[in-house]
Amino acid sequence: MHPGARTHVGPPPRFLTSGPGLGFGGWAVGGTRWGAPRAERERVAAVERAIERGITFFDTAPTYGGGASESLLGRVLRPHRERVAIATKIGPRDDPRESLEASLKRLATDYVDLAQLHEAGERWEWQLERLRRLQDEGKARAIGACNATHLELARALEIAPLRSYQGPYNLFDRDVEERHLPRCDRHGIAFLAYRPLASGLLGGAYRTAPSFPEDDHRRNIYWFSGSEFARRHGAIERLEGLARGRGTSLAALALAWVLARPGVTIVLAGARTAGQVDDNVTAVERPLTADEVREIDAIVAQAFRPLRAT
């Protein structure tokens, strides 16, 4: 299939419980905190390519580029609004109404398909109740939560009609398997996997521990330095060999692994260029076999014990 071909890689618009599908993570197109900035035309091209390739779910937040991600997505997605789903977030210290209404202006829409609490702050229960009111008003079609402990998620499900939970999930971070994924399954809510490439570590670009600029959020992520980087890199070298053998990139292999996990509804993969979108879509076009999943799991297990909840 040529790079411009359309592939069904996402759930039907505004229907969060079908999957697994590939979604578009909008942090990187915000233009900040991801290393050297890309020109806006490249970031616009990335979103346009995602639409061309059949991606229908776009996730963003007011904090991504200080609103730049929402503004860019709003401009590009506006002609396609009826066939795409847009999700945004409410910060832990934000008033839900003020935050969501500002997001709607940047997104050039009168509703979002999913409004999520970005994380649980001091007033998170109050925020959820206010989000429910905004849902009743039609400004949010559904409500979700992100980055909650399993106990916070349990409580949130008592307060509001959650449709989704978003948490980190990748080959090196499998904590959600212990409690979050089973809870989502029991309650019939979607699980949205973010950070599927471990903030770029599973993109295959780093042969030695990188030194990020002061404003790059990855500067303080522990697995990019010292012994933590070294043991992960040992596994990455073997995974790269497996990826070459099947004719894909390491990133596509890592995304395909998350797509293959039970309980995952949408995998949110970021991209700053059209080429990165094409590579991400390969994960859908070339799903892993059961034998490949077992081989990948064995490689990671030999490097270190995957992270688990305690």
Q: Look at residue 15 in the predicted model and tell me its pLDDT.
A: 52
* pLDDT band at residue 6 under the 50/70/90 scheme: very low
Q: What sign has the CA pseudo-torsion 90, 42, 257, 80? A: positive
Mention the CATH class of domain 21-201+251-287: alpha beta
Q: Is 206 assigned a catalytic role? A: no
Strands 21-25 and 266-270: parallel
pLDDT in tens, 39-94: 899 999 999 999 999 999 999 999 999 999 999 999 999 999 999 999 999 999 99
Whole-model pTM: value is 0.90
Environment class of 74 (CB within 10 Å of its CB; exposed 0-12, middle 13-18, buried 19+): buried
Task: Using a pLDDT cut of 90, give the percent of the chain over it.
Answer: 74
Q: Which of 30, 71, 70, 80 is nearest to 50 (CA)?
A: 80
Torsion of CA 90, 37, 273, 11, to 10 degrees: -10
Which amino acid appears at position 300 of this protein?
V
Choose the catalytic residue: 64, 111, 165, 169. 64
Average pLDDT over residues 11-20: 50
Q: What sign has the CA pseudo-torsion 274, 146, 193, 236? A: positive
